[in-house]
């Protein structure tokens, strides 16, 4: 018998969503980098669309949305504090797990990921619509931010000398080795230094996804991380370049495998690689 998710309520199937379309207590949101290439050409009926870089990041700072920006998004999306929010996206749901992490940071209790995201919905031939839903705005007020979900740069620096802490590099092997500053085939941003945080182990974020975009079985995921030296007793700090890919690994560790102490370092390589005085490892000649 297959092992169950540690927190099964955080993950719902496409069938579960299809049975609850337009339920007043449920809001479905699609999160992607380029909504004109996804949401605007067809989305789950009744779903609202959130831009990864416009709604789920601060417009000026390299940061998560601030409290006012987050509350404004929830209000115009028709979300109350007791609303069940179901998130999905393209690219194995990595934007959805980022939005999930942000919502948990701001204290929203009932947030769920549609397993398989847009990919699985399409493969199953489920309906899409192009019209944006009519939404009645709310007076949403966020909870108290939860700092235990987030690792700032200073915390990561201190963690380099602490036992029981595992830094998890979720990028591609080329980024981890110090060959590239972004994934192969994507624009290479001007980051001052390439490489990885010293001591970080490597498990690519998308190694946790099956071909249909759904999460791999629990036993496979547990073995994958265990073989990299990561166990449930560890404090784990995933990072990537922007924090988005790291949020996917964070979700697996915390909500599928049941790890208690996992923090996303969302400053990730854009911060670490441009910071003076922090140590770096690389496989490339210096």
Question: What does the alpha-carbon distance between residue 10 and residue 76 come to, in Å, rounded to a whole number?
Answer: 23
Task: Please tell me which residue in 29, 73, 203, 240 is annotated as part of the active site.
Answer: 240
**Structure-block tokens of residue 131:** 């019209």
Buried b (16+ CB within 10 A) or exposed e, 150-183: bbeeeebeebeeeeebbbbbbbbeebbbbebbbb
Torsion of Cα atoms, 12 then 146 then 70 then 119, to 10° = -30
Question: Distance between terminal CA atoms of the chain?
Answer: 50
The first and second tokens of residue 6, run together, are 């540690």
Q: Among 253, 279, 245, 226, which residue's Cα sits nearest to residue 97?
A: 245
In sequence order, what are the residues at sequence separation of 6 or more whose Cβ sits closer than 8 angstroms to the Cβ of residue 5? 11, 218, 255, 256
Annotated catalytic, 229?
no
Cite the active site residues.
240
């Amino acid at each position: 018998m297959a092992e169950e998710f540690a927190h099964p309520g955080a993950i719902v199937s496409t069938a579960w969503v299809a049975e609850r379309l337009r339920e007043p207590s449920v809001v479905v949101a699609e999160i992607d980098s380029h909504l004109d290439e996804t949401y605007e050409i067809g989305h789950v009926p009744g779903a609202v669309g959130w831009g990864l870089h416009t709604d789920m990041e601060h417009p000026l700072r390299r940061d998560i949305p601030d409290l006012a920006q987050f509350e404004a998004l929830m209000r115009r999306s028709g979300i109350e504090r007791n609303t069940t929010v179901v998130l999905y996206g393209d690219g194995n749901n990595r934007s959805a797990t980022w939005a999930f992490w942000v919502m948990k940071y701001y204290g929203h209790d009932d947030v769920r990921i549609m397993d398989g995201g847009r990919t699985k919905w399409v493969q199953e031939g489920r309906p899409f619509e192009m019209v944006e839903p009519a939404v009645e705005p709310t007076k949403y007020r966020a909870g108290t931010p939860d700092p235990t979900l987030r690792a700032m740069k200073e915390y990561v620096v201190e963690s380099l000398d602490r036992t029981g802490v595992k830094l998890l590099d979720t990028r591609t092997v080329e980024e981890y080795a110090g060959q590239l500053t972004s994934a192969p085939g994507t624009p290479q941003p001007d980051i001052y230094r390439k490489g990885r945080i010293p001591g970080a182990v490597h498990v690519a974020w998308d190694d946790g996804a099956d071909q249909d975009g759904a999460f791999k079985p629990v036993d496979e995921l547990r073995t994958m991380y265990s073989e990299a030296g990561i166990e449930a007793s560890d404090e784990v700090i995933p990072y990537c370049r922007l924090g988005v890919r790291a949020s996917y690994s964070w979700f697996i560790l915390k909500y599928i495998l049941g790890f208690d102490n996992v923090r996303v370092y969302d400053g990730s390589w854009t911060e670490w690689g441009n910071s003076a005085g922090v140590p770096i490892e690389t496989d490339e000649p210096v």
